[in-house]
Amino acid sequence: MPEYADSSRTRDETPHERYERWSWIHETAAMTGWDFSALAGRLIADDPPWDFDEICLEAMAESTTCLDMGTGGGECLSELIDRLDEARPPGESTPTITATEGWEPNVPLATSALEDYGVTVTRYDSDHHPEMPFGDGEFDLVMNRHESYDIAEVARVLAPGGLFLTQQVDGTEAQEFRDYFGGGPGNLSQQLEPCLDGLERHGLTIEAARKWQGTMSFTDVEAVIEYLAYIPWDVPGFTVMPNLGVLGRLAESSDPIEVTQKRFLIVGRKP
């Protein structure tokens, strides 16, 4: 556990010292790639009943051209490629794999992690780029884990018969945080049903759709502050000062701090 998360220190702190420490945690927290290891043991999260890695691996084993959207630091994709030889039928070649990443600090990380695999990493995210930098029908598989997407563009770059696999965070996840620190009901359009409607409007056939709800549990309030720095869209504009009272009450409780986790899965195919 990092020194600043040692709850035994808090007993002798003045209110100003506590504020300074919590602010320092929030301001200096930085995540490399898509790596929550700094919260190991302090953030305990349930897993959905499906295994998105396995779903992707099976689809990759049958593909020839594959796109991984929002690859982060390339961690998950490199692990999938390492396992791909075992999953593919004997004698079949490895698919041509391309990746995108939208957060600038992650692009060099992903490029370095994936260059030995022959994977090209292109900077792209649907919130800032009107078009994907790929040709029509370029991929027979598009994978997307927790990344924004423009379904019109996904449909365009998919080849006929191509598969779109996505696992998404429901836009109303962790409502407890917004109840604590202020905010509305989350992004109601980022839910299974509206996303299914979007795929169908753009001509994709739904082969599977599931949603799930579980729990994220934080052992201390410092872990919550750090997490909200990593995932600022859960509580947009969160800072420590306006929330000192709520944070103090959470810190005084001996119970874990629990919030609702929500995921959904869609498998769509282009006719």
Does residue 255 belong to any structural domain of this protein?
no
Does residue 9 belong to any structural domain of this protein?
no
Q: Give the pLDDT confidence of 29-68 residue by residue, as tens digits.
A: 988 777 888 999 999 999 999 999 999 999 999 999 999 9
Report pTM: 0.92
Q: Give the pLDDT confidence of 128-157 residue by residue, as tens digits.
A: 999 999 999 999 999 999 999 999 999 999
Does residue 163 belong to any structural domain of this protein?
yes
Does residue 209 belong to any structural domain of this protein?
yes
Quote the domain boundaries for residue 66.
50-170+187-214+262-269
- Which of residues 92 and 151 earns the better pLDDT score? 151
Yes or no: say if 49 and 214 are a contact pair by the CB < 8 Å rule. no
Average pLDDT over residues 196-211: 98
Does residue 26 belong to any structural domain of this protein?
no
Our count of domains for the chain comes to: 1
Does residue 140 belong to any structural domain of this protein?
yes
Q: CATH number for the domain including 146?
A: 3.40.50.150
